[in-house]
Structure 1
Amino acid sequence: MAELSAEDAKLVVLARGAFGRTGSGQGAAVRDLDGRTYSAGAVALKSLTLTALQAAVSAAISSGAEGFEGAVVIGASADDQGIAALHEVSAQASVVFARPDGSVIEE
């Protein structure tokens, strides 16, 4: 398993919480440039569909975040549209893919 910083390990915990809480099959957490964290599960409504990462990025941006340091996603793939949203705001933001048990997926 890859060694994560303490801050990224915290994002894994938050993403796992969102994954378990929502039952959506996805969980994500992001850390903004001020160190604030936001987590979310996927949203699947008739009128609105968001991946977990899109939802977490949206929550952060709507709360005033101006950029991101990193993100953790569970149950998502490398083509998740949330990655594009994250990198639109902060091209250098890291993305860690993890399993539901919290272990990091090596890429």
Structure 2
Amino acid sequence: MPESPTTPASSPVEQLSAEDTKLVVLARGARARIGAAEGAAVRDQDGRTYAGADVSLPSLTLTALQLAVAAAVAAGATRLEAAAVVTEASTLDGAGHAVVRDLAADVPIHVAGPDGALLGTVRQ
């Protein structure tokens, strides 16, 4: 069965660059700060980073990636270089995947567990 675009690749886990490792650290921090189920961070075309955690209010629900991308766009980002999400889930949610693809069709989305261990990278 082919992998879904939201399932991290199960091939050998790649070694992250220092910049992508920083995204995982920022995502873990955003998640831990409020005890959220998910944290995310993105890096824009200028190397600026934005982080966020999932939001669940009666009138607003956002995934962590949606929040991080929204912060980037609000600051003027027009393209992303990379994204990372730290989650308790084993797959990347569709809404988070879609919002990253709105700004970049081919950048890596690194998916890590709560301990920061890389589970895989989604590239499509």
Tell me the TM-score range normalised by the shorter chain. over 0.9
Structure 1: gaps (5+ residues)? none
Task: Pick the aligned partner of 2:92 from 40, 56, 78.
Answer: 78
Structure 2 stretches of 5 or more lacking a match? 1-12
Identity %: 51
> Equivalences for 1:33-44 in 2 at 5 Å?
33-44=45-56
Post-superposition CA distance 1:32-60 (Å, at most 9, x none):
01000000000101111000011101111
Letter in 2 for 1:94: P
Cα shift readout 1:52-88 (whole Å, capped 9, x = no counterpart) = 0111011111111111011000115233312101111
Backbone CA RMSD of aligned residues: 1.3
Q: 1:94 matched to which residue of 2?
A: 108
What letter matches 2:116 in structure 1? G
Q: Secondary structure at the match of 1:65?
A: coil
Aligned 1:36-55 pairs, distance under 5 A:
36-55=48-67
TM-score (norm: length of structure 2): 0.81
Instruction: Report if the CA contact (8 A) 1:71-1:96 is conserved.
Output: yes
TM-score (norm 1): 0.93
Q: Structure 1 CA distance, aligned partners of 2:86 and 2:120?
A: 13
Determine which structure has more spread, i.e. the larger CA radius of gyration.
Answer: 2
* Whole-angstrom distance in 2 between the partners of 1:80 and 1:19: 19
| Inter-partner Cα distance in structure 2 for 1:106 and 1:18 | 20
User: Structure 1 stretches (4+) deviating beyond 2 angstroms?
Assistant: 76-80
Is the CA contact 1:26–1:51 (under 8 Å) kept in the aligned structure 2?
yes
Amino acid at match of 1:82: G
Q: 1:27 to 1:37 in 2, by over 3 A?
A: same
